[in-house]
């Protein structure tokens, strides 16, 4: 393939330094954003605890009720409306194919990915002071690249010489098998959606006729006779598959999956727990019921801590933006400005940590009151330490 072509140009813009009232007005806008983030952080932290406890309870309930199925026997309708577990290879009735490119594979999903060779704009900016003004130097560079989405060249700083087509000649599409089953039980749409282990389909089968408008190079179909010297507007197409199915299927054995869901006749459906959650689990490997629920509990724990960190980050940022107005009021005094900046950061860190822990404790209060009390005591620890270090007042 030819090396991407590049050209560039530079543009300099200037603006006068904002006055005190202008900076104060901008800070006021940031304060409103900070208040919104501060309120949002409480919602994220509080609801996250309830969500995690609810999911954990649902998984415990599911593990206590799940029934292991034997794939060698016919579906037992006594298991109707019960949570079941089974592991086995995927099966589909027929192969998925794309007649335009003569591609066929027996799998749960077949994806056609289309890319177009087009211009892409890149920007690099730097700010500097000159003649009492703040100036911004922006360098725009242009390269030709394969992209799966259409880049609108009308938004380029320099459109002349860098014009892209407004649409692709071929569309990307994903075809899903109408019926996918394990053993003798059909998977619900929700379970099929979880089959996402896409792998590139190797184009090792016979290529199109020489007089065709297509050219095969590597694992791509090119809509050009010169795939190694593409021009803007040229299109290439690749295919990938997920969930191989059927015995002796190309290009490998059928995908083995482990499923936990509710059996209803010969179908697998979502199972609703007492806490209101739905269990509809699929893993792309052979796992026992115990291993499936352990994986789900681990995923729940990871999500719990990720959302805790996100909630704390929102609170810290919200407090920082809300208190920014104090920094603006003194930013004309260098020494005082640095002291206030440091103090505001320490204040935001301390308050966000304490309030985050208190919010987490409130989320646990209904479900785990003893644990909530311990977390609340930990949240108040910085205040108690600060008060203990305060020197006692002398008697007058």
Q: Where are the alpha helices (DSSP H) in the chain?
A: 20-65, 189-193, 289-322, 324-330, 334-365, 369-379, 381-388
For residues 282 and 292, what is the distance between their CA atoms, to the nearest angstrom?
9
With a cut of 50, say whether residue 246 has pLDDT above it.
Answer: yes
Model pLDDT, residue 301: 95
For residues 60 and 313, what is the distance between their CA atoms, to the nearest angstrom?
31
**Bridge-based pairing state of the strands 267-269 and 185-187:** parallel
Confidence of residue 361 (pLDDT cuts 50, 70, 90): confident
For residues 210 and 212, what is the distance between their CA atoms, to the nearest angstrom?
5
Domain ranges of the chain: 15-56+300-388, 67-286
With a cut of 50, say whether residue 5 has pLDDT above it.
Answer: no
Angle, CA 65 vertex, CA 59 and CA 68 arms, to 5°: 105
Model pLDDT, residue 3: 45
With a cut of 60, say whether residue 367 has pLDDT above it.
Answer: yes
How many residues appear in the chain? Answer: 396
With a cut of 70, say whether residue 27 has pLDDT above it.
Answer: no
For residues 109 and 303, what is the distance between their CA atoms, to the nearest angstrom?
28
State mean pLDDT over 171-200.
Answer: 93
With a cut of 90, say whether residue 307 has pLDDT above it.
Answer: yes
User: What are 217's two structure tokens?
Assistant: 């190079």
With a cut of 60, say whether residue 329 has pLDDT above it.
Answer: no
Least confident span in 85-94, 210-219, 377-386: 377-386
**DSSP one-letter string for 304-344:** HHHHHHHHHHHHHHHHHHHTHHHHHHHTTSHHHHHHHHHHH
With a cut of 80, say whether residue 45 has pLDDT above it.
Answer: yes
363 or 23, greater pLDDT: 363
Q: What is the pTM of this model?
A: 0.77
């Amino acid at each position: 393939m030819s090396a991407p072509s590049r050209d560039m140009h530079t543009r300099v813009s200037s603006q006068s330094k904002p006055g005190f009232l202008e900076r104060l007005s901008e800070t006021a806008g940031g304060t409103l954003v900070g208040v919104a983030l501060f309120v949002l952080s409480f919602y994220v932290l509080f609801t996250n605890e309830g969500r995690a406890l609810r999911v954990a309870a649902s998984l415990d309930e599911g593990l206590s009720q799940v029934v292991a199925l034997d794939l060698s026997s016919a579906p037992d309708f006594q298991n109707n409306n019960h949570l079941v577990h089974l592991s086995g290879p995927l099966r589909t009735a027929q192969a998925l194919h794309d007649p335009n490119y003569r591609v066929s594979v027996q799998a749960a999903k077949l994806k056609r990915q289309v890319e177009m060779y087009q211009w892409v704009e890149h920007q690099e900016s730097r700010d500097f002071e000159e003649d009492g003004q703040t100036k911004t130097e922006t360098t725009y560079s242009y390269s030709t690249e394969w992209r799966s989405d259409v880049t609108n060249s009308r938004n380029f700083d320099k459109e002349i010489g860098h014009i892209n087509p407004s649409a692709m000649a071929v569309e990307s599409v994903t075809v899903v098998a109408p019926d996918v089953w394990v053993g003798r039980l059909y998977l619900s749409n929700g379970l099929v959606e979880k089959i996402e282990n896409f792998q590139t389909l190797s184009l090792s089968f016979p290529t199109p006729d020489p007089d065709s408008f297509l050219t095969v190079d590597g694992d791509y179909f090119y809509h050009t006779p010169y795939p190694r010297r593409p021009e803007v507007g040229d299109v290439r197409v690749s295919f990938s598959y997920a969930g191989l199915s059927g015995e002796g299927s190309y290009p490998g054995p059928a995908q083995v999956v482990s499923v936990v869901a509710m059996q209803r006749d010969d179908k697998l459906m979502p199972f609703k727990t007492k806490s209101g959650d739905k269990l509809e689990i699929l893993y792309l490997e052979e796992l026992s019921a115990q291993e499936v629920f352990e994986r789900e509990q681990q995923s729940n724990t990871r999500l719990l801590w990720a959302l805790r960190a996100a909630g704390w980050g929102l609170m810290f940022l919200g407090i920082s933006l809300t208190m920014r107005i104090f920094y603006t009021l003194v930013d004309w005094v260098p020494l005082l400005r640095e002291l206030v900046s440091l103090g505001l950061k320490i204040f935001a860190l301390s308050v966000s940590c304490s309030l985050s822990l208190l919010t987490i404790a409130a989320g646990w209060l209904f479900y785990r009151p003893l644990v909530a009390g311990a977390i609340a005591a930990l949240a108040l620890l910085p205040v108690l330490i600060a008060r203990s270090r305060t020197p006692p007042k002398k008697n007058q």
